[in-house]
Amino acid sequence: MRRFRPYFRYLHAVRVPIAVAIGCGLLYGAASGAGLPLLVKYVFPRIFDAGGAAVPLLHVALVAAYIPFIFALRALSGYLNSYFTQYAGVRVLEALRLDYFRKLQLLPLSFVQGKKTGDLMSRGLADTQQLQFTLTLLANDGIKQPATLVSALAAIGYMAFTSQGVWFALICLAAVPLTVFPIRFVGRKVIKRAAQVQSELGSVSSHFSENLAAAREVRAFGLEARETSRFAAACHALITSQMKIVKYAQALTPAIEVISAAGIAVTLVYAYRSGLRLETFIALITALYSSYEPIKKLGALNNELKRGLASLDRLEVVLHEPVTIADPAEPAAIGRLRGDVAFTGVAFAYEAGAPVLRDVDVTVNAGTVCALVGPSGAGKSTFANLVPRFYEVTAGRITIDGVDLRAMRLSDLRRNIAVVSQDPVLFNDTILENLRLGRADASREEIEQAARDAFAHPFITALPRGYDTVVGERGASLSGGQRQRLALARAFLRNAPILILDEATSALDSESEAYIQTALQQLMKGKTVFIIAHRFSTIRHAGLILVFDHGRIVARGTHADLHATCELYRSLYDRQQGGAT
């Protein structure tokens, strides 16, 4: 129970419906636990055991009205309890998912990229739903079922003391503690299997996500049967884990019912020997049976708590992950930056003991076009990603205009940087709204001008709905070149003093690339530009070229200087030029 206490804060926003649900639950428990046994003991005998005297019909009708009253009270209180519990539940689910999603936005890229997408989705969907169900069930049955149990036991105690005394009550209640044993046994089994079920569910979601993301490759390589087989194996593992929970959870009710039946049998023998009146015996049996029903439900609640704990463990991997990249307590006042970028003693590692960058010291003056070259895995992309603070340096510091990045608000820093990746992502929205991401307050005229600068305006206006065309998930309805030009248009629109270009023209045809290179030359004037270079033809005229190898900058200079003095640069350049010929 202690594990769930911090999450009861989600119930605060729905405290009124929860309070109504609890009140109705208490009423339901009293009507069920005490109302029905007392109905049997005091209502029926007044009609059928009148000592042979005729009972007036009106009196019979008034006494009989107690029956629908009790059941109507149970029905109405049970309905209101369920309704307000469900209402509170969906509100709790909304808050849980929002907090989970919000936390994902704050965590560094290294955390998100280190997890399977499908598993993160499963945690945010299936695990939050399980936790919501557990919290609301705990708030509901955690009150209603104990109230029913206490009412039933109170009725048993009252009738026992007024009929046969304390010993009869103790005999009736003797079987109740025995139900704890199957509940504890099943609970231990369920908690082990519940974590496995949630993990297997995440695996199934990952297979779904991975397959849909690689739909073209699956068909191109004829992997349909292989993918189906892999998915079938994941589904089979999930079903196996689920059935193990079913095996234990479904055994709980029969076990409690057998113990209940034994208790009733013992009560029957003792009642016979004691010469107990029939109506008192039936009332006691009704109360005893009423006490076992909430015990069964409390046993089920115990199982749900175990499942909720398994989901909570998976959610807390994200919810308790420290936010290592955040705004400082007292951020520096930042307007539009000039773009003087300096790395001082910078080191970075995705995992402890495996540095990706080592001892990086370099200053890139404002207005410099800086190209980053080197073998694959040399640290070029990591170097560029440290500038917008997508990752936090392990050692050293990075400054812009002399201000440490960690002293700036993230929003202020990133407002001064435009990023165009090699594989740009578009959202499932209109072209206009995708371009507006570059600058939220841009007018339509400014957006269209940015599209013209990126040579995207002609193909946009040729579309049936022009700028109001919905591009589909990840821009699926557009070609690679069209997506790249829209990404470039966003950079034009942002007009930030610092640009990061991850081979931004690689997806364009030669004619469009020629136009865009001309446009980029104009765009880059007066700005600090980092070009992650894969094709050397795009960086020959860069003012500064940094050569990376095994996480270090091994050389720096212009193309002519490096080609003459740096063997690594010369071999990379000549190999590519030779391949091009």
Residues forming beta bridges with residue 531, ordered by sequence position? 371, 501
Question: Could you give the CA distance from residue 494 to residue 327 in angstroms, rounded to a whole number?
Answer: 22
pLDDT of residue 38: 66
Tokens of 548: 């990376």
- Contact status, residue 158 vs residue 283, Cβ threshold 8 Å: no
* Domain covering 341-580 in this structure, CATH number: 3.40.50.300
pLDDT of residue 549: 92
300 to each of 75, 240, 246, 267, how far by Cα in Å? Answer: 22, 21, 12, 26
Question: Could you give the CA distance from residue 69 to residue 294 in angstroms, rounded to a whole number?
Answer: 22
DSSP state of 426: -
- Contact status, residue 288 vs residue 168, Cβ threshold 8 Å: no
Question: Could you give the CA distance from residue 433 to residue 262 in angstroms, rounded to a whole number?
Answer: 70
Per-residue pLDDT of the chain (581 residues; tens, 9 = 90+): 567 677 778 778 888 888 888 888 778 777 766 666 666 666 666 656 655 556 576 766 776 777 777 778 878 887 888 788 878 877 877 888 888 888 888 887 878 777 777 778 878 887 887 777 777 777 667 767 777 777 777 776 776 666 654 455 556 556 555 655 665 666 566 656 666 676 777 777 777 667 766 666 676 667 778 778 877 887 778 777 767 766 666 666 666 667 666 766 776 676 666 666 666 666 666 666 666 677 767 776 777 777 778 788 888 888 888 888 888 989 998 889 999 999 999 999 888 778 899 999 999 999 999 999 988 888 898 999 999 998 899 999 999 999 999 999 998 999 999 988 877 888 888 889 889 888 888 899 999 998 888 888 888 999 888 999 888 777 777 877 788 888 888 888 888 999 998 876 655 566 666 666 776 777 777 889 999 877 777 776 788 999 999 999 999 998 888 989 999 988 888 887 764 44
pLDDT of residue 137: 73
pLDDT of residue 166: 46
Question: Could you give the CA distance from residue 454 to residue 442 in angstroms, rounded to a whole number?
Answer: 16
Cα angle 149-160-166, degrees, rounded to a multiple of 5: 100
Residues forming beta bridges with residue 77, ordered by sequence position? none
**Residue boundaries of the structural domains of the chain:** 9-319, 341-580
C-beta atoms surrounding 551 within 10 Å? 22
Q: Is the torsion defined by CA of 148, 152, 153, 154 positive or negative? A: positive
List the one residue out of 311, 308, 317 whose CA is nearest residue 136. 308
Amino acid at the residue 417 = I
* Domain covering 9-319 in this structure, CATH number: 1.20.1560.10
Tokens of 65: 């009205």
Question: Could you give the CA distance from residue 202 to residue 29 in angstroms, rounded to a whole number?
Answer: 38
Task: Give the distance from CA 241 to its chain's centroid.
Answer: 22
Residues listed for the chain: 581
Question: Could you give the CA distance from residue 215 to residue 210 in angstroms, rounded to a whole number?
Answer: 9
Residue 32 CB burial class (10 angstroms; 0-12, 13-18, ≥19)? buried
Question: What is the DSSP code string of 343-375?
Answer: EEEEEEEEETTEEEEEEEEEEE-TT-EEEEE-S
Question: Could you give the CA distance from residue 344 to residue 363 in angstroms, rounded to a whole number?
Answer: 8
Question: Could you give the CA distance from residue 359 to residue 552 in angstroms, rounded to a whole number?
Answer: 7
Question: What is the DSSP code string of 427-457?
Answer: -SSBHHHHHHTT-TT--HHHHHHHHHHTT-H
Helix (H) or strand (E) holding 398: strand 395-400
Residue 383 CB burial class (10 angstroms; 0-12, 13-18, ≥19)? buried
